[in-house]
Amino acid sequence: MRQRIIGHREASMLLAICVLPSVFLLEPSTGIARAGTAACLVKVGGGLAFLTLSVWVAVMVERYARGRGAFTFGDFLAHHLSRGVACAVTVVWAGAFMLHLILLLRTAAESTAKTALLQSEISLPLVLFGGAMMVGVRQELTALLRTAYLLVLGAGGLVVMLALLLLPMHSAELLLPWQGYGYAASMREVFSDMGTWCMGTAVFLLFPMMRAEGGTVKSVVRGVIAAAVIKCTVLLSALAVFGSVVGAERSFLFYEMAKLVHFSQYIQRVESIFVCAWVMVVFLAMIVFVRIITMLLTDVLSVSDGRPLTMLVISASVVCALLVSDLASAVEVGGMLTYTVMPVAFLVTVGAVTVGYILRRRDGDAYRVGGGD
Amino acid sequence: MRWQSMVAWLRYQPSEEPEPFILTEHTADEVSRAIAEADRSRMQAMADDIAAGKREKEKLCDGREDQSRDGEARSAGRSRDGGDGRSAGRSLDGEGRSAERSRDDGEGRAEEERILRMKRADFALREEELMPVGCAYRHGFTAAEDVAVSRSLEENANTLRRLYHADRTNDLKLRFFTLKSTMKKGLLFAYIDGMVDAMLATQSVIEPLMMLAEERAVQRADVMAERIRRQFLPMMQTAEGTDFGKVVTVMNKGGGALFIEGSDTAFLLEMAGYPMRAVGKAQIEETVRGSQASFTESLRGNISQVRSLVRSEDLVAEVVTIGRIARKECAILSVDGIVDPKLVREVKRRMEGVAVDHVFDCGALMQFLTERRTSFPQMLTTERPDRTAEALMQGRVVILTDGDPFAAIVPAFVWDFFHSTEDREMRPPSAIFMRVLRYLGAVVTMLLPGLYIALTYFHQEAIPSQLLVVIAGYRQMVPFPSLVEMLLLIVSFEFIREATLRVPSRLGGSISIVGAIILGQAAVTAKLVSPVLVVVVALTGLASYILPEYRFAFSLRVCQYAFLLAGGMTGLVGISLLSVLLLIELAGMSSFGVPFLAPLIPRTADGSGAESMRPDVLNPVRIVKAEGDGKRWQKEESE
């Protein structure tokens, strides 16, 4: 296994690109439906919870990595738990990423067919995305993350620009707490909302192979902040424009907001340009997901070369996305996965590693510099 | 005994080197005379050695006799002391044997010499008979590098004739002449017709040697060669070669080779005189301000142009020869103390690892030095010495190829392809404006046709209503779909562009007229294309000319077709996907290990804008370029 050192910007963009795609799709409307006007606060709360636990995992992983050469996340888990549990956890996370990839593919294809390719069937954008992924996935993960850096910056700029262009339509009173379910009631959603951040676990899953130059903690903090800024801007703007009621009813809020942009007689109906932003981000995220799944499977199956697996993963994801009957099913499955399964999986993983860490520490053989398993 | 003698002869090495084996003419008689003469001298030396050995032996025998006499005295003493007289008898026997042995040795030596003489004569005859066969064998199956320079001029001439295929070509010139000396030693001056400066060769080589004064002539070839080199070759660049690999390398570059009879070293004289272009005005990278000089096809001339700008002893020009058949000299230029030594090593490693038969220019060389196959150039090329010098001072490496008026600068970043030398001549706001214009030009070149098709096909709502009406009005009359219409026009534009490049310059005007009238006016009148499309294509074409780097602009034009097809088939979604793929491709590219998108990503300190720093991503040894902003006079004034 080859170990790579990547810049902390690339590492933080790995986290950002994994958690951002949903913000251009269904996450804003789902968030508003679950928390009302407090959606933005819930988002921040969920982000903080994820950040706290992530920093703890990052500290443990970095301590473990001290003085060690290349290793996988499976080795790290096996050190704290057992080889079998490590395999199981890796498979669970590979499965979680695979499910997310399928749902993302389906949602992206559906929204593309509804917004950009109006006369086409769902299979065309699906095949289009699948084919493009096969081309893009050939590149090194470093190249993907560098692209992510550019795209996240660009998408962030576009989001801010959208918010500014919609400034005349913003109504501050739509943000007031009594428009939704109240802040106190909404705070219960913080745990569930942590699920929208859990794809950021990719930083730890790939950490052994892609060590961040400035440290994982720094990368996690920066990545969460970058993603939180974009997510909160979209949520606040959507709430200010649509309010909690209408916002919860619409599906693709980002697109709906872009449709409202009207700036003189020459800049009107520019939603197709904003569509480009989310197509790019979502597409890149899907390629990154494929690479993550492949790397995890390569570790579990102890395969030396994971390239044949990429084709398999892409083909399987396209076929499975076609099997999903409609967008409502995708939303339902996606909601359950994101808001229920992912937070639990994340907490269980962190908890197990922590217990292992404590037990090892009690035995006195944890994190010896240069020590083996 | 005979066998031992033969081995002794074969192993025989005279203590002093006799006059070298010289062949002045190659008739059979002369060869045999020369061999016989050499044999005589060798035999004489051998006989002298034998005589010396004999003398030593005699001395040894004398010593033994003295010893036996001493022994006798001792034995007598012992007998006086009660010995049995046996020792006296032993000493007498020993004396008799010693005398007999010396007589036998003398006879044996004479017999041995007689046999040796016979063998020598036999070997000489065989050598004479086999010499042509041996020469043919050596020359027929070995590379030039393996053939050593012979002491025979004729053999050297034959070797050159064989190497240059003199039976089929006639540009190899061999000039035999004789030194004005008591030995009348022959000289051979070999060169390729048209490659050397004939005047220089006559005045600096042949004339001085022909005028070599008699009293200065010496018999020993090596001493004479050294004297010729020191006193009679008024050339700047002379080298010595002992094998034909070096000889032909110099001759192929336009040099001459001087062979001296009896010497196994050839003088290699650089006197290139083949036609070369003089330093002229830059043709591709013309600028309004700044230096107007451009490189030529001469490697040395180009290096000197760079040296005239970077006047520092730290400017290093390492020469590497590339090409297994057509050997081409390339120079790796760098400024020691600024450039990262690892980068220089890497460039050299790659260049030395180019295993091809020929590389004629910088563009072809680039194909063998870059990491991956992509349509984007990974090395910056320039014909301007000032831009080259600027790159060197930034900490980059420059590759110059003999016969190519372009320098390759490595590593290159994508942003370098938008820079022009003129930018430094202008104030920052103007330079920034120009650069932004070039970035815009690149986007328009690549995306405009595809965007137009995508918007008109899939996203009409994004087009302002009035414009949409105009487009629709013109589209009504055209029978083809917009995509076909666009492809028709773009391909026609490429035809015109290529035709303008290829036709003689006098016809260039007529091509432009044909293009403008036929394509611009007639096609619209015939309702083959809509006027809006003509505007789009013309704008795209113009934008592609804004970019200073021709190869980069060409790559963008290739991408233009991909974006056009993607936009025509899947609208903005296709363009977005292709953009991401293109970005990934660019992000994955590197130029000699340096990321292509640096210093944007991975983010490093940029040195292009700040005059005080060199780009950090180049890892220069000396990163600070200027003290502060380089205006120390301001500090002095304030103090």
What is the tens place of the pLDDT at every residue in B523-566?
Answer: 888 888 888 888 999 899 889 888 888 889 999 999 999 999 99
Which of chain B's residues have a Cβ under 8 Å away from the Cβ of A279? 572-573, 576-577
> Which residues have C-beta within 8 Å of that of residue B49, sequence separation ≥ 6?
B14, B15
Q: Do A150 and B464 touch (CB under 8 A)?
A: no
Q: What is the mean pLDDT of residues B115-129?
A: 73
Chain B residue with Cα closest to A6: B602
Side chain identity, residue A281? V
Nearest to B307 by CA among B388, B424, B402, B421: B388
Query: Residue B451's pLDDT band (boundaries 50, 70, 90)?
Result: very high
The reported pLDDT for the residue numbered B581 is 94
Instruction: Tell me the three state secondary structure of residue B631.
Output: coil
User: Hey, of B565, B569, B576, which one would you mutate to test binding to chain A, going by the most A CBs within 10 A of its CB?
Assistant: B576
The reported pLDDT for the residue numbered B142 is 61
Largest CA distance in chain A: 73
What is the tens place of the pLDDT at every residue in A148-189?
Answer: 999 999 999 999 999 998 998 888 888 877 777 777 777 788
Residue B594: enclosing H or E segment and its boundaries? strand B594-595
B347 pLDDT higher than 80? yes
User: Hey, of A111, A122, A146, which one would you mutate to test binding to chain B, going by the most B CBs within 10 A of its CB?
Assistant: A146
Q: Do B576 and A276 touch (CB under 8 A)?
A: yes
Cα dist from B408 to B377, B454, B612, whole Å:
11, 38, 25
To the nearest whole percent, how much of chain A has pLDDT over 90? 29
Chain B residue with Cα closest to A120: B570
Q: Chain B window 445-484: which residues touch A at a Cβ cutoff of 8 Å? A: 455, 458-459, 461-462, 464-465
Q: What is the mean pLDDT of residues B81-110?
A: 55
In order of start, what are the domains of chain A with their CATH numbers? 8-349 (1.20.1740.10)
Chain B residue with Cα closest to A151: B580
Q: How far apart are CA B478 and CA A111, in angstroms?
A: 34
- For residue A136, the distance in angstroms to the closest alpha carbon of chain B comes to 6
Instruction: Report chain A's mean pLDDT, rounded to a whole number.
Output: 84
B266 or B617, greater pLDDT: B266
Around B441, how many Cα atoms within 13 Å sit in the side-chain half-sphere?
22
Q: Do B581 and A129 touch (CB under 8 A)?
A: no
- For residue A139, the distance in angstroms to the closest alpha carbon of chain B comes to 7
Q: Do A117 and B577 touch (CB under 8 A)?
A: no
To the nearest whole percent, how much of chain B has pLDDT over 70? 76
Q: What is the mean pLDDT of residues B421-438?
A: 87
Q: What ipTM was estimated for this complex?
A: 0.90
Q: Is A155 on the interface with B (CB under 8 A)?
A: no
The reported pLDDT for the residue numbered A51 is 92
Which of chain A's residues have a Cβ under 8 Å away from the Cβ of B578? 132
Q: Do B572 and A272 touch (CB under 8 A)?
A: yes
B47 pLDDT higher than 90? no
Q: How far is Cα of residue B314 from the mean position of the Cα atoms in its chain?
A: 21
Q: Do B602 and A146 touch (CB under 8 A)?
A: yes
Instruction: Tell me the three state secondary structure of residue A275.
Output: helix
What is the tens place of the pLDDT at every residue in B238-255?
Answer: 788 888 888 988 888 888
A211 pLDDT higher than 70? no
Scanning chain A, the segments in alpha helix (DSSP H) are 8-19, 27-35, 39-65, 73-80, 83-115, 123-136, 141-165, 183-186, 189-193, 202-205, 216-249, 253-259, 271-301, 307-323, 327-336, 342-363
Compare CB distances from B572 to A136, A275, A283 and report the shortest one's residue.
A275
B114 pLDDT higher than 50? yes
The reported pLDDT for the residue numbered A302 is 83
Which of chain B's residues have a Cβ under 8 Å away from the Cβ of A269? 461-462
Q: Which residues pair with B322 in a beta bridge?
A: B328
Please, what is the end-to-end C-alpha distance for chain B in angstroms?
A: 101
Q: How far apart are CA A258 and CA A28, in angstroms?
A: 14
* Greatest mean pLDDT among A186-190, B17-21, B470-474: B470-474
Range in B172-181, B353-362, B405-414 with the lowest mean pLDDT: B172-181
Q: Do A135 and B581 touch (CB under 8 A)?
A: yes
Q: What is the mean pLDDT of residues A42-68?
A: 86
Q: Do B462 and A269 touch (CB under 8 A)?
A: yes
Q: Is A116 on the interface with B (CB under 8 A)?
A: yes
What is the tens place of the pLDDT at every residue in A320-353?
Answer: 998 888 878 888 888 888 888 999 999 998 998 8
Instruction: Tell me the three state secondary structure of residue A203.
Output: helix
Q: Do A146 and B601 touch (CB under 8 A)?
A: yes
Q: Please state the length of chain A.
A: 373
Q: What is the mean pLDDT of residues A356-362?
A: 80
Range in A148-157, B453-462, B467-476, B624-633 with the lowest mean pLDDT: B624-633
Q: Do A7 and B459 touch (CB under 8 A)?
A: no
What is the tens place of the pLDDT at every residue in B561-601?
Answer: 999 999 998 888 899 999 999 999 999 888 888 888 888 88
Q: Is A112 on the interface with B (CB under 8 A)?
A: yes
Which of chain A's residues have a Cβ under 8 Å away from the Cβ of B462? 269-273
Q: How far is Cα of residue B414 from the mean position of the Cα atoms in its chain?
A: 29
B138 pLDDT higher than 60? no
Q: Do B580 and A136 touch (CB under 8 A)?
A: yes
Which of chain A's residues have a Cβ under 8 Å away from the Cβ of B465? 265
B391 pLDDT higher than 60? yes
The reported pLDDT for the residue numbered B22 is 41
Cα dist from B431 to A80, A168, B385, B577, whole Å:
58, 37, 21, 33
Q: Which residues pair with B240 in a beta bridge?
A: B267
Compare CB distances from B587 to A124, A129, A143 and report the shortest one's residue.
A143
Cα dist from B177 to B143, B145, B157, B205, B586, whole Å:
28, 26, 13, 11, 63
A191 pLDDT higher than 60? yes
Q: Is A132 on the interface with B (CB under 8 A)?
A: yes
**In the A/B pair of chains, how many CB contacts fall below 8 A?**
106
Compare CB distances from B459 to A10, A268, A272 and report the shortest one's residue.
A272
Cα dist from B189 to B153, B157, B228, B238, B257, whole Å:
10, 9, 13, 14, 6
B76 pLDDT higher than 50? no
Which of chain B's residues have a Cβ under 8 Å away from the Cβ of A136? 580-581, 584
Compare CB distances from B461 to A10, A151, A269 and report the shortest one's residue.
A269
Nearest to A61 by CA among A21, A27, A11: A11
Nearest to B407 by CA among B347, B313, B348, B331: B331
B82 pLDDT higher than 50? no
Query: Is A173 in contact with A61 (CB distance < 8 Å)?
Result: no
Q: Do B583 and A268 touch (CB under 8 A)?
A: no
Q: What is the mean pLDDT of residues B77-90?
A: 43
Query: Residue B12's pLDDT band (boundaries 50, 70, 90)?
Result: very low
Query: Residue A99's pLDDT band (boundaries 50, 70, 90)?
Result: very high
Q: Is the pTM of this model over 0.80?
A: no
Q: What is the mean pLDDT of residues B199-205?
A: 81
Q: What is the mean pLDDT of residues A76-96?
A: 86
Query: Is A212 in contact with A14 (CB distance < 8 Å)?
Result: no
A140 or A231, greater pLDDT: A231
